[in-house]
């Protein structure tokens, strides 16, 4: 007799599962669980919560605090940290969203992607779940930066909090979608991070997060107007500045907005640009993902 036969089979009643056919409800369940997985992983990864805050804080307090002396002549009495604060609100969610998108490369490297790919659900559900997950996680990080508004003399109000969160969610969604569209093509973590740095950093600098987007050299103005990030940074700055009590001249210089041939774009339109772009990128990511076997 073999060991198998010797070992008594415990009389556990067999719970039989019948898996129903694919439906909208099952797709929504799949989206939800992929989203939840991102949250659980984020919660378990305390290092990531801390490390992804280092860069924004460095920019805000070290760069902002240090350059203050040079910039004081041009800021018309406004603290440079206050000026770049809206840019930092964007930066935080950008980096976190990028890392979230990277998780798909990670999942591929560690094999987990396969588990999701062979499940009887649409690939789009997996991509959408990932994208929402990345956006949610990024907004958590954004909240931390929002909480330190008082250190840069920005007064709290319900409008500020809700507005900033909405804009952050929008930006994080678009960046995650962008990251996913890139991540589908890239098989290795190092190359993914390299590519993202190469794209994200220039986009961030050109966006006007660190300087007013008016009176720039012509080439930089052109780049600024076509930089999608500029359309997220500008409404954020407008929102924050609307809560500040500063001189009209300072407002004019520091918050010029994005204008096309002298017409200043309304904030809502700028946000719409980001939304459309995010949806478009999500579409690309889904299409790319579905066409891989």
Partner 1 sequence: MSPKLHEMGDNGTPAISVNALRKQFGEFEAVKGVSFEVGAAEVFGFLGPNGAGKSTTINMLCTLLKPTSGEARVAGHDVMRERDDVRRNIGLVFQDPTLDGYLTAEQNLKLHAELYGVPKELVAPRMEQVLKMVGLWDRKDGQVMMFSGGMRRRLEIARGLMHSPRVLFLDEPTIGLDPQTRRTIWTYIRELQEREEITIFMTTHYMDEAEWCDRIAIMDKGEIVALDTPEALKADVGADRVTIHVDDNDAAIAALENRFGIEGKVAEGACTFGVEGGEQFVPRLFAELGVPIRGVSVSRPTLDDVFMSFTGSTIRDAEEDPSKHRNRVMMQMMGGGGRR
**Total binding residues toward partner 1, as defined by CB under 8 A:** 40
Q: Token match 């440079």: residue?
A: 80
Residue nearer to partner 1 on the CB measure, 36 or 243 = 36
DSSP lists the bridge partners of residue 259 as: 264
Supply the minimum distance, in Å, between the C-beta of residue 235 and partner 1: 35
Rounded to a whole number of angstroms, the minimum distance from the CB of residue 128 to partner 1 is 13
The dihedral sign for the CA sequence 221, 223, 227, 229? negative
Nearer to partner 1, 69 or 292 (CB): 292
CB 142, CB 163: distance < 8 Å? no
46 forms part of the interface with partner 1 (CB under 8 A): no
Phi, psi of 264 (to 5 degrees): -85, 125
Q: Work out how close the CB of 153 gets to partner 1 at its nearest, in angstroms, rounded to a whole number.
A: 39
Q: Which of residues 3 and 226 has its CB atom nearest to partner 1 in the complex?
A: 3
Footprint on residues 3-42 left by partner 1 (CB under 8 A): 3-4, 7, 9-10, 12, 14-22, 26, 29-30, 32-34, 37, 40-41
Say what angle helices 46-57 and 80-109 make with each other, to 10 degrees.
140
Tell which positions 98-117 bind partner 1, by CB under 8 A. 107, 110-112, 114-116
The CB-of-124 to partner 1 minimum distance in angstroms stands at 14
218 near partner 1 (CB under 8 A): no
Cβ closest to partner 1, residue 32 vs residue 225: 32
Least distance (Å) between residue 12 CB and partner 1: 6
Residues in touch with partner 1 (CB under 8 A): 3-4, 7, 9-10, 12, 14-22, 26, 29-30, 32-34, 37, 40-41, 44-45, 107, 110-112, 114-116, 118-121, 187, 292-293
């Amino acid at each position: 007799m073999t060991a198998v036969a010797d070992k008594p089979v415990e009389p556990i009643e067999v719970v039989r599962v019948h898996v129903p056919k694919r439906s909208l409800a099952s797709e929504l369940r799949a989206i939800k669980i992929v989203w939840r997985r991102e949250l659980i992983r984020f919660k378990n990864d305390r290092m990531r919560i801390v490390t992804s805050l280092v860069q924004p804080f460095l920019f805000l307090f070290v760069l902002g605090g240090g350059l203050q002396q040079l910039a004081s002549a041009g800021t018309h009495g406004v603290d440079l940290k206050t000026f770049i604060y809206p840019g930092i609100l964007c930066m935080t969610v950008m980096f976190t969203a990028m890392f979230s998108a990277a998780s798909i490369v990670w999942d591929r490297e560690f094999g987990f992607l396969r588990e999701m790919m062979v499940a009887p659900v649409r690939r789009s559900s997996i991509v959408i779940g990932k994208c929402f997950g990345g956006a949610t996680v990024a907004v958590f990080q954004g909240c931390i930066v929002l909480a330190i508004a008082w250190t840069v003399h920005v007064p709290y109000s319900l409008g500020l909090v809700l507005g900033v969160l909405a804009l952050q969610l929008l930006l994080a969604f678009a960046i995650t979608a962008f990251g996913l569209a890139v991540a589908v093509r890239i098989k290795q973590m190092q190359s993914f991070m390299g590519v993202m740095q190469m794209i994200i950093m220039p986009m961030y600098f050109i966006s006007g997060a660190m300087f007013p987007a008016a009176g720039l050299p012509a080439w930089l103005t052109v780049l600024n107007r076509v930089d999608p990030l500029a359309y997220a940074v500008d409404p954020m700055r407008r929102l924050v500045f609307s809560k500040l009590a500063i001189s009209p001249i300072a407002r004019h210089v520091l918050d010029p907005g994005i204008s096309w041939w002298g017409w200043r774009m309304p904030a809502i339109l700028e946000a719409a640009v980001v939304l459309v772009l995010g949806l478009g990128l999500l579409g690309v990511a889904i299409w790319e993902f579905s066409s891989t076997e």
